[in-house]
Amino acid sequence: MRRLTPVLCFVLLLTSVATGQAPPPKPAPAPSAKQKAAPSFIDRVLKFLGISDSPGTLKSPGDDRSGILWVADLGSRTTHAVTRDGGYRSPIFLPESNDIFALSGSDVVRISPSGEMKKLYAIAGLTKLVAGSTGNPDTLLILLTGNAGEHSRVGLLSVSTGKVTPLAFDPNSSADLQMVEDLEGWTRRYGDKQIYVRRQTKQALSGPVEASDVFLKAAGQEPMNISRCNGVDCGQPCLSDDGRLLIFVKSETE
């Protein structure tokens, strides 16, 4: 999805050489009861996301389609398109900013709130931008294609350099594999709020039409359709750092 060696005692060494004696062997340090195990893959991912529990998996057909980026203002309950053209997918808000990062093919692009787009770099095999780091705005959690028949690979992307650092997990751990599957999905929890994608059926003149919309569920309230895409597939939602804005992808296919 974020070791200092002990210094030799030169004074003791010099004294021992001067007297012709070898320095006494240093006793091995007793194990400390306060020593902690290295953080697990799951702990590192959850710390990166700034959440206390694992997101759930909900992946529907159409969730990975490219399209036009739209933003919903949760305060005013209005939506507007950020980009005029399509071809974008997997958008996220950059922490501490309303700038948007998204994928266009294999390119990572940065988009201002006004819709101005700048291509940063191309990364082969990059399939999803998961989230920005809550502690390091220069780092993004990403997914890359795995080998045939295997799960996605998890990595950390440096915003400034484009360097990808693998984040290893145990392929024999069911908990680690479940976390990877969760990262592949689009359901996310933010405190007492949950955003997710749900398919709905709408009756049209030509018959029933099925499409996906983005929903928000707050504690004690009924789920709210945020995207209201009216029969067009919408998905891939992500909340801004302050929880005020939600970005999603609206398919170009009517």
Residue 168 pLDDT greater than 70, yes or no: yes
Cβ-contact 127, 164 below 8 angstroms: no
Instruction: Assess if residue 5 is contained within a domain.
Output: no
Sign for the pseudo-dihedral over CA of 179, 127, 83, 48: positive
- Reported as a single tens digit per residue, the pLDDT across 98-130 is 899 999 998 999 999 888 999 999 999 999 999
Give a yes or no: residue 3 inside a domain: no
Query: Could you report the per-residue pLDDT of 52-76, keeping only the tens digit for each?
Result: 444 444 444 446 789 999 999 999 9
Whether the pTM exceeds 0.85: the reply is no
Q: 244: which 2 tokens?
A: 């005020």
Amino acid 13: pLDDT: 33
4 located within any domain: no
CA angle 76, 78, 84 (to 5 degrees): 145
Strand partners, 246: 72, 239
Note the residue count of the chain. 254
For residue 13, being part of any structural domain is answered with no
CATH of the domain at 119: 2.120.10
Q: How far is CA 57 from the centre of its chain?
A: 14
The pLDDT of residue 195 is 93
Residue 101 lies in a domain: yes
Helix (H, G, I), strand (E, B) or coil at 226: coil
**pLDDT band (50, 70, 90) for residue 95:** confident
Per the domain annotation, does 8 fall within a domain? no
Confirm whether 16 is domain-assigned.
Answer: no
Number of Cβ within 10 Å of residue 186's Cβ equals 24
Which structural domain range is residue 177 located in? 40-251
- Could you tell me if residue 119 is inside a domain? yes
Q: Return the SS3 of 18.
A: helix
CA distance 235 to 73: 16
User: Which has more pLDDT, 233 or 150?
Assistant: 233
8 Å CB contact between 156 and 142: yes
- Mean model confidence pLDDT for the chain: 80
- 67: phi then psi, degrees, rounded to nearest 5: 180, -155
Whether the Cβ atoms of residue 48 and residue 133 lie closer than 8 Å to each other: yes
* Total number of domains in the chain: 1
Residue 229: per-residue pLDDT: 92
